[in-house]
Structure 1
Amino acid sequence: MDQLALIIGLLLATVAAVGLGDRLRLPYPVLMLLLAVALTFIPGFPDLEIEPELILPIFLPPLLFATAQRSSWAVFRVRWRTLIMLAVALVVITTATVAGAAWLMIPGIGIPAAIALGAMVAPPDPVAVESVASRVHMPRRLTAVLQSEGLFNDAAAIVIFQAAVAAAVGGTKVEADVVLKFVVGAALAVVVGVAMGWVIALAYRLVNSMVARSAITLVVPFAAYILAEEVHASGVIAVVVTALEMQRHSRPQDAAERVTRNAFWDVVELLVTGLAFGLVGLEIRHVIRDEGTAIFGMIGVALVVCVLVFAVRFLWLAVLALGARKRRNLLQPTSLKEVVILTWCGMRGLATLALALALPVTLADGSPFPGRDYLLVIACAVLLATLVMPGLTLPWLMRVLKATGDGSEERDAARLLAKRAQGAAVAALKDHDLMKDLPPEKVELVKARMKRLQAELLDGSLRNESLPEKRQRGRELAIAVQTIALDAARQEVVAARSEPDMDPEVADRVLRQLDLRTMIMPE
Structure 2
Amino acid sequence: MDLLVLVIVLMLGAIVLVGVGEKLRLPWPALMVVMATLVGLVPAWREVSIDPHLILPLFLPPLLYATAQRTSWSLLRGRWRAVVGLALVLTTITIAAVAGTALAVVPGMTVAAAIAIGAAVAPPDPVAVEAIAGPVGIPRRLTTTLQSEGLFNDAVAIVVFTAAIGATQTGRPFGVDVLGEFALGLVLAVVIGLAAATAGGWLSDHVADVAGRNAITLVLPFAVYILAEELHASGVVAVVVAAVQTASRRGGDDVEDRLTGRAFWDVVELLVTGVAFGLIGVELYQVVAEAGPELGRMVGHAAIVCAVVVGVRALWLLLLLALHRRARDPWVAPRTWQESLILTWGGMRGLATLALALAIPTVGADGPLESRPEILVIAAAVVLVTLVLPALTLPTLVRVLGVQGAHEAEQRAERELIARASRAAVAHLRAQSRSGELPEEAAARIEQALGQLDDAVAGELPHEYSDRIKEFRKRRKVATALQADAFRVARDEVVRARNEAGVDPEVADRVLRELDLRSRR
Q: TM-score range by the shorter chain?
A: over 0.9
C-alpha deviation, 1:437, in angstroms: 4.5
Per the alignment, residue 221 of structure 1 pairs with 221
TM-superposed deviation, 1:443: 2.7
The answer for the alignment partner of 1:353 in structure 2 is 354
- What CA deviation, in whole Å up to 9, does each residue of 1:123-161 have, x standing for no partner? 011111222223321111111111111111100000011
Distance 1:458 1:136, change over 3 A: closer
1:180 CA displacement: 1.3
Map of 1:63 onto structure 2: 63
CA offsets 1:137-191 (integer angstroms, 9 cap, x no match): 1111111111111111100000011111111221121111111111111110000
Deviates more, 1:106-115 or 1:29-38: 106-115
Asked whether the 8 Å contact 2:288–2:295 carries over to 1, the reply is yes
Aligned to 1:102: 102
Cα offset, 1:61, TM superposition: 0.2
Shift of 1:363: 1.5
Matched, 1:484 2:485: yes
Residue of structure 2 in register with 1:248 after alignment: 248
Contact 1:442 1:457 in 2 (8 A): no
- Residues 299 and 107 (structure 1 numbering): CA distance in 2 closer, same or farther, change over 3 Å? same
Contact 2:291 2:374 in 1 (8 A): no
Secondary structure of the structure 2 residue equivalent to 1:294? helix
CA distance change for structure 1 residues 268 and 456 in 2, over 3 Å: closer, same or farther?
closer
**Residues 249-288 of structure 1: matches in 2 within 5 Å?**
249-288=249-288
What is the Cα deviation at residue 91 of structure 1? 0.4
Segment drifting more, 232-241 vs 323-332 = 323-332
How big is the shift at 1:192? 0.6
Q: Is the 8 A contact 1:453 1:478 kept in 2?
A: no
Residues 500 and 437 (structure 1), Cα distance of their counterparts in 2 relative to 1, 3 Å cut:
closer
Name 2:26's counterpart in structure 1. 26
Report the AA paired with residue 475 of structure 1. Answer: R
Task: Tell me the residue number matched to 1:156.
Answer: 156
CA distance in 1, matches of 2:76, 2:404: 25
SS at match of 2:43: coil
Structure 2 Cα separation of the partners of residues 92 and 189 of structure 1: 20
RMSD of aligned Cα (Å): 1.7
Q: 1:54 Cα shift?
A: 0.6
Give the gaps of 5 or more residues in structure 2.
453-463
Q: Which residue of 2 aligns with 1:339?
A: 340
Q: Which residue does 1:87 correspond to in 2?
A: 87
Structure-to-structure mapping, 1:446-457, within 5 angstroms: 446-450=446-450
The secondary structure found in structure 2 opposite 1:186 is helix
Structure 1 residues 214 and 446: CA distance shift in structure 2, 3 A: same
Letter in 2 for 1:294: E
Query: Secondary structure, in 3 states, of the residue corresponding to 2:232?
Result: coil
Tell me what 1:198 maps to.
Answer: 198
Q: Which runs of 5+ in 1 are unaligned?
A: 462-470
| Mapped contact 2:33–2:280 kept (Cα < 8 A) | yes
Question: Which has the larger displacement, 486-495 or 440-449?
Answer: 440-449
How far does residue 278 in structure 1 lie from its aligned partner after superposition?
A: 0.5
Per the TM alignment, residue 406 of structure 1 is displaced from its structure 2 partner at its CA by 6.1
Q: SS at 2:321's partner residue?
A: helix
Q: Residue 68 of structure 1: CA displacement? A: 0.3
Structure 2 letter corresponding to 1:23:
K
Structure 1 distance, partners of 2:327, 2:437, is 56
Instruction: For 2:479, give the aligned amino acid.
Output: A
Task: Verify: 1:362 aligned to 2:349, yes or no.
Answer: no
- Give, in angstroms, the shift of residue 519 of structure 1: 1.2
Q: Secondary structure of the equivalent of 1:327?
A: coil
Provide the rounded CA distance (Å) in 1 between the counterparts of 2:438 and 2:487. Answer: 18
Q: 1:460 to 1:268 in 2, by over 3 A?
A: closer
Letter in 2 for 1:45: W
Q: Does structure 2 conserve the Cα–Cα contact (< 8 Å) formed by 1:497 and 1:503?
A: yes
| Cα gap change, 1:27 to 1:47, in 2 (>3 Å) | farther
- Following the alignment from structure 2 to structure 1, what is the Cα–Cα distance between the partners of residues 328 and 418? 29
Which runs of structure 2 are paired with 1:311-326 in the superposition (5 Å)? 311-326=311-326
Alignment of 1:399-478 (within 5 A): 399-405=399-405, 407-432=407-432, 436-450=436-450, 458-459=470-471, 471=474, 474-478=475-479
- Partners of 2:23 and 2:385 in 1: CA distance: 24
Corresponding residue for 1:468? none
Q: Is 1:186 aligned to residue 186 of structure 2?
A: yes
**Range moving further from structure 2, 190-199 or 409-418:** 409-418
1:295 is matched with 295
What percent of counterpart residues are identical?
Answer: 50
Partner of 1:505: 506
- In the alignment, the residues of structure 2 paired with residue 179 and residue 437 of structure 1 have an alpha-carbon distance, to the nearest angstrom, of 63
Q: Deviations over 1:290-326 (max 9, x none)?
A: 1111111211110000000000000000000100003
**SS of equivalent to 2:405:** coil
Maintained 8 Å contact 1:142/1:333: yes
Residue 198 (structure 1) shift: 0.5
**Inter-partner Cα distance in structure 2 for 1:345 and 1:460:** 51
User: Contact 1:82/1:145 (CA < 8 Å) preserved in 2?
Assistant: yes
- Give, as a single letter, the amino acid of the residue that structure 2 aligns with 1:196: A
> What residue identity is the alignment partner of 1:228?
A
User: Which of 16-25 and 53-62 deviates more?
Assistant: 16-25
The answer on whether the counterparts of 2:302 and 2:381 sit within 8 Å (CA) in structure 1 is yes
1:344-398 residue CA offsets vs partner (Å, 9 max, x unmatched): 1111000001100110111235x11251111111001111111111111111212
Q: Which moved more, 1:58-67 or 1:440-449?
A: 440-449
Distance across 2 between alignment mates of 1:477 and 1:121: 61
Query: Contact 2:46–2:286 (CA<8 Å) still a contact in 1?
Result: no
Bigger shift: 77-86 or 303-312? 77-86
Q: Over residues 443-499 of structure 1, what are the superposed CA-to-partner deviations in whole Å (9 max), with x where a residue is unaligned?
A: 3233343359965664577xxxxxxxxx3xx32221111111011000000000000
Rounded Cα–Cα distance in structure 1 between residues aligned with 2:34 and 2:276:
13
Cα distance in 2 for partners of 1:281, 1:453 equals 47
Task: Report the equivalent of 1:375.
Answer: 375
> For residues 404 and 294 of structure 2, what CA distance do their matches in structure 1 show?
43
Partner-residue secondary structure (3-state), 1:405:
helix
